[in-house]
Amino acid sequence: MTRRATISDVAAAANVSRAAVSKVLQGAYGVSDDMRQRVNTAIEQLNYRPLVSARGLRGATFTFGITIPDFRNHFFSEVIRGAVEFLADTPYQLLTSPVDQGHREGYRAIEALYDRQVDGILTISPLVETAWLEDMALRVPVVELGRHDIAKNYDVVRGDDAAGTRAVMEHLFSLGHTRIAHVAQVDAEASGADVTPPAIRRRVYEELMRDAGLAENIQIIEALYQEMSAYHATKSVIDHGLPPTAIFAGNDDAALGVLRATAERGVDLSVCGYDDSQLADHPLINLTSVNQHGADMGRVAMELLVERVKGRTESRVETMHPVLIARGSTRPA
């Protein structure tokens, strides 16, 4: 990694003093348009970003940011709810930064929050490189939600995805199912390594099928963790061969797509989701799902950011233990 640009580098490139650069960074009065333009140009060319300690000199903004990969995902709504509930009794407010389709990795959404000088960032960014996130965490407190990272500079809040997947598979095995398919996030491999929830759920599903002597029945239905993507993928499986007797969808949104496809095609099979969103408990849906305590994740993440702002520097990992909620969408084979 190249040497990080300093405020002195910016001052030299802009041909101004360090004090002038500080004034521009602070948005202080008495800075000419020409000086501000030169400093900002140097900052952009050098990719300069102040360290956390330097940002503190400008004072707190009493805002935290959160990146949201997909506002249609019901689990993320639970995370936001928990975060807002925790911040209700604090001076902090929450800003959201959606991840747009043109920059799905999430870098731009994180940088947008940083550039607004938030005091901390909760990022749900499965495609962001760990090294890049470590570097960002040197500049502003960061909590990553979901991934199973081993981080030095930021905190991690995650679910026990392996345990949740085991609970699903043991439940389906106990009902006599042997032809079990899995709706896997199509981005799982692009996420890198085996640290993302979709990748872990897929891996453990395959391991448990092999351990049960059912390797020949492993069936991966690749789709986005979205209702319509899973709907089209499942419908294609039903139309082109012997359908499974049960489908484990990687999240509740995908499970809704599976239910839509089975209802449309008149196929009776068991469906299990993941996240236990509010829709799962609706009596007309009655979806078996894994509750991984999304609201609690949001609350814990905000608590960790507050601790970081107050001076904690060592990284922490908080793991939520999932619980399977069995409902009417799963039945004996």
- Are both 286 and 186 inside the same structural domain? yes
Write out the chain's pLDDT in tens, 333 residues.
467 788 888 889 999 988 888 778 766 667 888 988 999 899 888 888 766 555 555 567 889 999 998 888 889 999 999 999 999 988 899 999 988 665 566 888 999 999 888 999 999 988 888 999 999 999 999 999 999 999 999 999 999 999 999 999 999 999 999 999 999 998 644 445 578 999 999 999 999 999 999 999 999 999 999 999 999 999 999 998 888 999 999 999 999 999 999 999 999 999 999 999 999 999 999 999 999 999 999 999 999 999 999 999 999 999 999 999 999 999 999
Q: Please check whether residue 327 lies inside any domain of the structure.
A: no
Take residue 197 and report the two structure tokens written for it.
Answer: 């929830």
**What is the rounded distance in angstroms from the CA atom of residue 39 to the CA atom of residue 132?**
24
Q: Please check whether residue 265 lies inside any domain of the structure.
A: yes
- Are both 145 and 167 inside the same structural domain? no
Indicate the number of domains in the chain: 3
Which domain range does residue 268 map to? 161-293
Which is nearest to 292 in space by CA: 201, 192, 231?
201
pTM of the model: 0.81
Q: Please check whether residue 324 lies inside any domain of the structure.
A: no
- Are both 267 and 204 inside the same structural domain? yes
Q: Within 10 Å of residue 258's Cβ, how many Cβ atoms?
A: 30
Which is nearest to 156 in space by CA: 196, 109, 198, 201?
196
Where does residue 53 rank: exposed (0-12), middle (13-18), buried (19+ CB within 10 A)? exposed
- Are both 103 and 145 inside the same structural domain? yes
- The DSSP code sequence of 73-129 is -HHHHHHHHHHHHHHTTSS-EEEEEE--GGGTTSHHHHHHHHHTT-SEEEE--TTS-
Q: What is the CATH number of the domain that holds 301?
A: 3.40.50.2300
Buried residues in 137-153 as b, exposed as e (16+ CB within 10 A): bebbbbbbbbbbbebeb
- Are both 41 and 113 inside the same structural domain? no
- Are both 237 and 255 inside the same structural domain? yes
